[in-house]
A and B are shown apart, each in its own frame.
Chain A
Amino acid sequence: MAKTLFLGDEAVAQAALDAGLSGVYAYPGTPSTEITEFIQNSKQGREGQVHSIWAGNEKTAMESAIGMSYAGKRAMVCMKHVGLNVAADPFMNSSITGANGGLVVVVADDPSMHSSQDEQDSRFFGKFALIPFYEPSNQQEAYDITYAAFEYSEKFHTPVLIRLTTRLSHSRAGVERKEARPQNPLHIEENPKQFILLPANARVHYRTLLGKQEAFENESLNSPFNKYIDGADKKMGIIASGIAYNYLMENFENHQCPYPVLKISQYPLPSKLIAKIVDECETVLVAEEGYPFIEEQVRGILNRTGNIIGRLSGALPRDGELNPNLIAKALGLPDTYGMPIPELVVPRPPALCVGCPHIDSYLAINEAMAEHGKGKVFADIGCYTLGALPPYNAIYTTVDMGASITMAKGAADAGLRPVLAVIGDSTFTHSGMTSLLDCVYENTPVTVMILDNSTTGMTGGQDSHALGVLGEICKGLGVKEEHIHRITPLKKDHEANVELIKKELAYEGVSVIIPTRECIQTLSRRMKKQQAAKRS
Chain B
Amino acid sequence: MKIDIILAGVGGQGILSIATIVGYAAVKRGMYMKQAEVHGMSQRGGDVQSHFRLSDQEIASDLIPMGKADMIISVEPMESLRYLPWLNPETGWLITNDQPFVNIPNYPDFDQLNAELGKLKNKVVINADQIAKDLGSARSANMVILGAASPYLGIPFEEIEAAVKENFARKGEEVVNTNIKCLRAGREFAEKL
Contact = CB atoms under 8 A, between A and B. Distances in A.
Interface of A: 3, 5, 7, 30-31, 33-34, 114-115, 138, 167-168, 170-174, 243, 246-251, 254-255, 323-325, 328, 335-342, 344-353, 383, 386, 390, 458-460
Contacts of B37: 7, 170-172
B62 A243 contact: yes
Interface string B53-81: 00001111111011111000000001101
Q: Chain A binding site: helix, strand, loop or mixed by DSSP?
A: loop
A289 to B, nearest CB: 11
B32 A339 contact: no
B84 A340 contact: yes
Contacts of A460: 39, 43
19 contacts: A7-B37, A114-B41, A246-B60, A246-B61, A247-B63, A250-B60, A324-B61, A336-B66, A338-B67, A338-B69, A338-B85, A338-B89, A339-B84, A344-B112, A346-B104, A348-B47, A350-B44, A353-B44, A458-B41
Interface residues of B, number: 54
Contacts of B66: 325, 335-338
B58 A255 contact: yes
B50 to A, nearest CB: 9
Given A172-B34, A249-B60, A348 B109 contact: no
B190 interface: no
Contact of A171 (B36, B57, B104): B36
Contacts of A114: 38, 40-42
Contacts of B112: 344
B46 A167 contact: no
B61 A352 contact: no
Given A338-B86, A458-B41, A172 B47 contact: no
A115 B67 contact: no
Given A338-B92, A350-B45, A351-B44, A170 B39 contact: yes
A348 B104 contact: yes
A171 B62 contact: yes
B19 to A, nearest CB: 8
A350 B10 CA distance: 9
Contacts of B89: 338-339
B103 to A, nearest CB: 7
Contacts of A342: 81, 84, 116
Given A167-B36, A171-B62, A339-B87, A351 B46 contact: yes
B27 interface: yes
B151 interface: no
Given A167-B62, A170-B37, A338-B84, 4 more contacts: A171-B35, A339-B85, A350-B41, A351-B44
Nearest to B44: A350
A174 B32 contact: yes
A176 to B, nearest CB: 12
A403 to B, nearest CB: 18
B186 interface: no
A272 B27 CA distance: 40
A470 B58 CA distance: 51
B11 A350 contact: yes
Contact of A344 (B35, B84, B88, B109): B109
Contacts of B23: 5, 172
A66 B149 CA distance: 51
A170 B37 CA distance: 6
Contacts of B42: 114-115, 350
